[in-house]
Amino acid sequence: MKKAVIFDLDGVLVHTDRYHYNAWRILTDRLGIDFTQERYDSIRGLSRMDSLERILALSSRQFTQEEKEAMAAEKNEAYLQRVRQMNPEEVEGDVREALKGLREKGLLLAVGSSSKNAKLILERTGLTAAFDAIADGSMVRRAKPDPEVFLKAAALLQVAPAEALVVEDAAAGLRAAKAGGFQAVAFGGDAAGSGLADYEVTRLTELLELA
């Protein structure tokens, strides 16, 4: 019997992918890097610095660590400009229905996100109070597909990995969940049809049948 559900944030509870992509495009256009939507899809679920390293590998130039940190900060500020304008209307009704139903079943709920902006996004969208714990990129050293962020969330909830479901839309996130000993649920993105999950759902309310 499951005691908890741990959710990835971007692509599962909210959809800020277009904000990430646009912020990366501002940087890559300046650097003369052809950064397509397909290339963005290949870095979804990775940390900011891991994403940047993959993007810069497309350039013939070499960059210092200081330059990389400045570029990561530049991208994050462009992203945050849009995030600060988010509101509760950007959360789909299915999300709130699923969270309410899981809570009524007595399950603990957490967010496990590589994003260091997770708490800001949850606050702006009015979702903070729905969760018992929030584990984000500011609390961990290793990004997905390392399971650290999910293990941190489980520790905050005081449940064992085997007692929790992890809901992810990224293949890297599914790999992280399985590496940590969790059961994994694929929800859209490149997680869907990847064969990496124990379950696959097309609506979050389907979690009520799994948990």
From the list 8, 136, 169, 190, the catalytic residue is 8
Q: Which two tokens stand for residue 136?
A: 């984000």
Q: Which two tokens stand for residue 145?
A: 């597909």
Q: Tell me the C-alpha distance between 36 and 92, whole Å.
A: 27
Residue 118's H or E segment, with its range, is helix 118-124
Per the annotation, the verdict on 41 as an active-site residue is no
What's the one-letter identity of residue 152?
K
Q: Taking the CB of residue 47, how many other CB atoms lie within 10 A of it?
A: 22
State the DSSP code for 10. B
Per the annotation, the verdict on 8 as an active-site residue is yes
- Cα 155 to Cα 4, 196, 207: the distances in Å are 11, 24, 22
From the list 10, 136, 146, 190, the catalytic residue is 10
Q: Which two tokens stand for residue 21?
A: 């992509």
Catalytic residue numbers?
8, 10
